[in-house]
Amino acid sequence: MRFDHETLGQRVRFASGQARESLAAEIDLLGASRVMVIAGQDERELADAVTADLPVVVHHDEVVMHVPADVADRAREVAAQHRVDLLVSVGGGSTTGLAKAVALTSGVPIVAVPTTYAGSEATNVWGMTESSKKTTGVDDRVLPRTVVYDASLMLSLPTGMSIASGLNALAHCVDSMWAPRADPINAALAGEGIRALNRGLPAILDDPRGLDGRERALYGAYLSAVAFASAGSGLHHKICHVLGGMFDLPHAQTHAVVLPHVLAFNVPTAPGAGERLATAFGSDTAVAGLAALRERVDAPKALRDYGMQESGIEPAARAVVEAAPADNPTPVTVDNITALLHAAWEGAEPR
């Protein structure tokens, strides 16, 4: 056994119903005195409640999916004008992504308070979109110093969005099995993440106001993100970045739709990863395990349901081939990626 593994330095405070207290303790520990709260308009009331005890100098609510470059620039200007020394993001992946865009150029640290299962809060990966192209990168300045997890903040997240967001987290686990820096530690984290999400997501569906399913899913989402941060971005994420940037598709739903197709595409040439995934799902095969979960939670099925046009498949396939990892288990060609995208577009069974 031989591998190189890097573990990112980050504190995690995980306690349901304690976000306000956890945040206050963290800000006191960090010694911040000029806090910028980043939260979309839909999250403003929640953000006000959990940041009530903080020295907030400005609230910023221009949060846009995929972090357009001009939106990032305006947030950076606000942070500079108010001389902020800490960013507190309260929201999903788009909110965390905007905070990362500010931190990338300013070096101001982030404390993230997630309200979805996106996982961005546990990675040092940033992404921004300009001219219909999403660019991503890795920089330790964007890794939140601390993550405050509070499953009670997820109770108002609609069930459908909870499922899509949780499947996005599951995609981090699957991609971590064969991403460019995949290693046994990533596989262990990803396997435990799958087990937690495989139990948590059905529990959310059965009892949307219960904490048990929410906590399991949140725990699984964190593990998935830690695995992904170390393993890097595999084929699944390259596909979703292309689709999100080109067609402005909803992030979580896109991941949920594409995931089974990438799994079916790679498993035949990655039998070791397939066995680990099958074990994590508690199924005979990885494909069957994911299919059973998706059927149980009524997962999103087709990209066309979210506004993608069939005419976009060909240019997207070419862009994916250019971005795909060179060491993906199954060799990537325009033809086989076109077939994969077409199946995902129409909601066909994974091939």
The one-digit pLDDT tens for each residue of the chain (351 residues) are 888 888 889 999 999 999 999 999 999 999 999 999 999 999 999 999 999 999 999 999 999 999 999 999 999 999 999 999 999 999 999 999 999 999 999 999 999 999 999 899 999 999 999 988 888 899 999 999 999 999 999 998 999 999 999 999 999 999 999 999 999 999 999 999 999 999 999 999 999 999 999 999 999 999 999 999 999 999 999 999 999 999 999 999 999 999 999 999 999 999 999 999 999 999 999 999 999 999 999 999 999 999 999 999 999 999 999 999 999 999 999 999 999 999 999 999 998
For 182, the token pair is 């995949």
Beta-strand relationship, 125-130 and 133-138: antiparallel
Angle at alpha carbon of residue 23, lines to 41 and 97, rounded to 5°: 45
Q: Which H or E run includes 133?
A: strand 133-138
The predicted-structure confidence for 4-44, as pLDDT tens digits, reads as follows 888 889 999 999 999 999 999 999 999 999 999 999 999 99
120 CB neighbour count, 10 Å cutoff: 28
The predicted-structure confidence for 229-286, as pLDDT tens digits, reads as follows 999 999 999 999 999 999 999 999 999 999 999 999 999 999 999 999 999 999 999 9
Q: How far apart are CA 262 and CA 169, in angstroms?
A: 15
Contact 303, 254 (CB under 8 A): yes
For 201, the token pair is 């997501």
Write down the number of H helices and E strands in the chain: 13, 8
Contact 146, 111 (CB under 8 A): yes
pTM for this prediction: 0.92
Q: How far apart are CA 85 and CA 140, in angstroms?
A: 17
Find residue 311's DSSP bridge partners.
none
CATH number for the domain whose boundaries are 159-346: 1.20.1090.10
CATH C-level class of 11-154? alpha beta
Side chain identity, residue 41: Q
Q: What does each C-alpha distance from 81 to 76, 84, 111, 336 come to in angstroms?
A: 9, 8, 20, 50
| Domain limits, the chain | 11-154, 159-346
DSSP assignment string, 140-197 = GGGS-SEEEE-GGGGTTS-HHHHHHHHHHHHHHHHHHTTSTT--HHHHHHHHHHHHHH
Backbone dihedral angles phi then psi of residue 133, each to the nearest 5 degrees = -125, 125
Tell me what percent of the residues of the chain surpass a pLDDT of 90. Answer: 94
